[in-house]
Chain A
Amino acid sequence: MTTTITDDAAVESIDETEVAAEPELIWVSVHNLIPHPDNPRKHPGDITEMVRSVKAKGVIEPVTLLPADDEGNHMVVCGFRRRAATLKAVKTVPKVEIVPAVVRHWTRAEALDAMFIENLNRASLTVSEEIAGIETAMSLDAGCTPARLCRRIGKSQAWVRSRMSLVVLPPEWREAIDAGRLSVAEAEAIASAADLGPEHIEALCERMADRRNGDPAGSVERYRDSLRIDAEYEAALAEQREKGHAVYTADEPAPDKHRSLTALFSGKGIKAHAKEPCHAVVVKRPSPFLVGGSVTVEAICTQPRRHSRATSAQGSGLTSERATSHRRGGDDSAAKRKGRVVRLAHAKEVFGRTRGGVSKRDLTEAALRALVEQAGADPLAFAATILGYEEPRNVRASTLLADADTPAALVRVAGAVAFGLAENHMYWSPRACGDYLRALTGTGWEPDEWTTAALGESSPADTSEDPAGGESEPSDDEPEPGDEGDDEPEPGDDEPESEDADG
């Protein structure tokens, strides 16, 4: 007959027993074996093979038992699965009922350690069984810290700490780890958020189980951050509403023409604007991709026109102190567009003239200056290197243009900037830098291997092209605005090649 004892008192009674130290080898009926209540293993798992083996040969390796209780029953310390297999086997093969056993006179703590070592080190327990085992071990003597417990059960402190930390997970989610819905790493990350409250643990478990990701700690961090931002956001909304401000958010956006107060006023003006009816605030959450960001509250004006100099007489008494930036920005954009249309129309008309248009010299100068002004920092640095500046990285377009005080110097500077632009493009599109490379090789430079390959790629179709580049004059049959009636010397006419050679 199988008896099950689950009463803790029965277990405690074993602790109190004065016992001999020597183990005993006995033969015992499997029906007198009962599972130890502290055994972390609660389910035998698949024992089909073992049942077959027991039927054939009986139990070969002795099970480890505690001494018999008053009814002659032994608690099994090691042999939980062998007992289960024998109980199944004995139904068809009664002769295997008697099993060999070693009786060890262990205290409850020693027995638990043995069960742990037997099962944990085989890695055959489920995570929830491990957690339950750890909880039981913690309730026994001298085991209340991971440092002490790990020495007793032969596991690392990190392992013990990990399993202990999972104690805060609800039982159904511990089972989810066994079922593979949650990984141990995810469960550990969730357990680290225990200070948020049980409802957030539940929410995190749901979230992790739904969406697997490779960074559970980061997910928990983002979740924690989102809670903080939600709280900050609600507090900011409440504070601004309490102040009586109109509040706009991402869900309820501000009017299109609103302007930030910092774009309209300085310190005093911003303060004074708080009394205006057009005063409002925009409360913004930080980017969801930025952990550690904060909610921002931006003061805005919903009717910036009220503060422009032209209309302030009819609008507000508060006039924008930053009229220039204000005019640049938005309210006079119609005038800006109108101006552009007029300018472009006039330029079109001038370019269409055969006489009396923009002079060739002006066009050339505008083109060369624009080339220098629009170049980025890297091309400018390369150009400054070519031109022999001592600290090329510190050279700005304005410096180069200031130094280009003659048409010839401007051509020289613009040529260097063109080379700088080409150099800047070399790694990405050497094909587009053919002129630059041919200009270099045409002046006696022997290209390195990479440049040779790049030159091959750029393969000039017309080898007769002037390698110096920029020296050839536009052909006469191309329409040149202002070609006629222009007697002034032109930058391109000032023998730039000889200037270049001098430089």
Chain B
Amino acid sequence: MAEPLHVASCTPPGRQAVLLHVPSRKAHRYVVIGRDGVEHARSDALGVVASAARFLVAEQGEAWVRSSDDTTAHLGPGGLVETDTPSCPWIRTLTACLEAPQ
């Protein structure tokens, strides 16, 4: 059986890094991507994607949330958030949300 491909923390499976990103004033749109590379939820409400991501983490062990500005957060077991852009405001909100007591 072939070894599974190593997936970098903050690159969702099946995604390529965006080479050129044009900043815009549009509202963020977030996508929740599972371990299988499938988009499970898409919303402009961070709360919706946080809930969906929590579900995916419970089911698959990890999930990625990618924003329309091409910043990505990786969610691991126990609500651990990893990212290449830790100062990104929405990722800080997501971290605070997932780390808050249920």
Residues of A within 8 A of B (CB): 132, 134-135, 138-140, 143-146, 161, 164-171, 191-192, 194-198, 200-201, 228
Report the bound CA distance from A201 to B27 in whole Å: 16
17 sample A-B contacts, Cβ–Cβ < 8 Å, listed by A number = A134-B51, A135-B51, A138-B51, A139-B54, A143-B55, A144-B56, A164-B48, A164-B51, A165-B48, A166-B47, A167-B47, A168-B93, A192-B27, A194-B93, A195-B28, A195-B93, A198-B92
A192 to chain B, nearest CB (A): 7
On chain B, the residues within 8 Å of A191 by CB distance are: 45-47
On chain A, the residues within 8 Å of B80 by CB distance are: none
Inter-chain contact B89/A195, CB cutoff 8 Å: yes
User: Which segment, of B2-10, B11-19, B94-102, faces chain A?
Assistant: B94-102
Contact with A along B31-46 (1 / 0, CB 8 A): 0100000001101011
Inter-chain contact A167/B52, CB cutoff 8 Å: no
Inter-chain contact A195/B27, CB cutoff 8 Å: yes
Nearest-CB residue, chain B, relative to A143: B55
Report the bound CA distance from A146 to B47 in whole Å: 11
Contact of B55 among A144, A165, A166 (CB under 8 A): A144
Question: Which of B43, B48, B51, B100 is the most central at the interface, judged by chain A CB atoms within 10 Å of its CB?
Answer: B51
Nearest-CB residue, chain A, relative to B30: A195
Inter-chain contact A146/B55, CB cutoff 8 Å: no
Report the bound CA distance from A201 to B46 in whole Å: 12
On chain B, the residues within 8 Å of A169 by CB distance are: 47
On chain A, the residues within 8 Å of B73 by CB distance are: none
Inter-chain contact A195/B92, CB cutoff 8 Å: no
Given known contacts A192-B27, A194-B90, what 13 new A-B pairs fall within 8 Å (CB)? A132-B102, A164-B48, A167-B47, A167-B48, A167-B51, A168-B46, A192-B45, A194-B46, A194-B94, A195-B90, A195-B93, A197-B89, A197-B90
On chain B, the residues within 8 Å of A165 by CB distance are: 45-48
Inter-chain contact B93/A145, CB cutoff 8 Å: no
Residues of B within 8 A of A (CB): 25, 27-28, 32, 40-41, 43, 45-48, 50-52, 54-56, 58, 67, 89-90, 92-94, 96-97, 100-102
Nearest-CB residue, chain B, relative to A132: B102
Inter-chain contact A196/B89, CB cutoff 8 Å: yes
Inter-chain contact A201/B47, CB cutoff 8 Å: no
B101 to chain A, nearest CB (A): 6
On chain B, the residues within 8 Å of A144 by CB distance are: 32, 40-41, 51-52, 55-56
On chain A, the residues within 8 Å of B40 by CB distance are: 144-145
On chain B, the residues within 8 Å of A139 by CB distance are: 54-55, 58
On chain A, the residues within 8 Å of B28 by CB distance are: 195
Inter-chain contact A135/B89, CB cutoff 8 Å: no
Q: A200 with B89: in contact, given A135-B102, A194-B46, A194-B47 (CB under 8 Å)?
A: yes
On chain B, the residues within 8 Å of A143 by CB distance are: 55
Inter-chain contact B47/A171, CB cutoff 8 Å: no
Report the bound CA distance from A282 to B52 in whole Å: 49
Report the bound CA distance from A410 to B69 in whole Å: 70
On chain A, the residues within 8 Å of B56 by CB distance are: 144
Inter-chain contact B97/A145, CB cutoff 8 Å: no
Nearest-CB residue, chain B, relative to A147: B41
On chain B, the residues within 8 Å of A166 by CB distance are: 47
